[in-house]
Amino acid sequence: MYPEPRPLRAYLKTHESALSDHAPDAEEVKTGKVDPSLLANPPPPSSGGGDIANSTEADESHQETEAEKSLVVDAISKRIKALGKKAQRLREYKQQAELNEDQKSAISGLPLLEASIKELESIKKTAEGLEISAQRTRNQERIEQQKQADQRIAEASQQAEVRLRECSIWTQYQIKLGRLPFSHGSPP
């Protein structure tokens, strides 16, 4: 009926938690104020304090506004810049009075070059829109994961509170029966 007894020292470690009349909130669990033995799903030791989970919705919306350009958008931008330089050089050729045959043939391709630049700019805008949409989706998924983690933390804290009450009842029962050894000779 009662859980397997733990050593008295384990209960004394949680003494401060036992004095609390409420379940710890998520922030107390994240900062480590709650004994990990009381958590249903303790954080892994390699998490380094859970800094990843501390991001807020404001941080995520800030990340959304400063969406990093993807490699695709960056490559398209570089290609637009290179074609723009080439088109500018051809426009300069147009203004010259004397042109050689190579310059004349290059100038004849200027409309095609300008059309290519416009097409690439259109593709770039589409790619940027898709990147922003993907970033929003990732942010929403992170927010949802954070909500689920917060819910698990709340459930774990409730379970810890129930377990603490059970242990407290068990300890009081054992004290009444005189079965718990105390290092100072008498119960506190």
Q: What does DSSP assign to residue 184? A: T
Compute, in degrees rounded to 10, the torsion defined by CA atoms 148, 154, 160, 164: -170
Judged against a pLDDT cut of 50, whether residue 152 lies above it is answered with yes
**125-148: pLDDT as tens digits:** 999 999 999 999 999 999 999 999
Q: Is the pLDDT of residue 116 over 70?
A: yes
Among 40-44, 60-64, 144-148, 164-168, the range scoring the smallest mean pLDDT is 60-64
pLDDT band of residue 102 (cuts 50, 70, 90) is confident
> How far is 39 from 162, CA to CA, in rounded Å?
11
Q: What is the pLDDT of residue 66?
A: 47
pLDDT digits (tens, 9 = 90+) for 15-27: 555 555 566 677 7
For residue 42, pLDDT beyond 80: no
How high is the pLDDT of residue 174?
77
* Cβ-contact 142, 55 below 8 angstroms: yes
Range name among 78-87, 122-131, 145-154, 163-172 with the lowest pLDDT average: 163-172
On whether the pTM is more than 0.95, the answer is no
- What is the average per-residue pLDDT within 156-160? 93
Per DSSP, the residues of 67-103 read PPPPHHHHHHHHHHHHHHHHHHHHHHHHH-S---HHH
* pLDDT of amino acid 16: 53
Measured at the CA of 141, the angle between CA 144 and CA 44, to 5 degrees, comes to 70
Neighbours of 14 (CB within 10 A): 19
**Which tokens sit at 2?**
């009662």
- CA dihedral sign of residues 45, 48, 49, 53: negative
**How confident is the prediction for the chain on average, in pLDDT?**
76
d(CA 75, CA 9): 62
pLDDT number for residue 158: 93
Q: Spell out the residues 6+ positions from residue 114 whose beta carbon is closer than 8 angstroms to its own.
A: 87
Rounded to an integer, the average pLDDT of 171-182 is 73
Q: Is the pLDDT of residue 58 over 70?
A: no
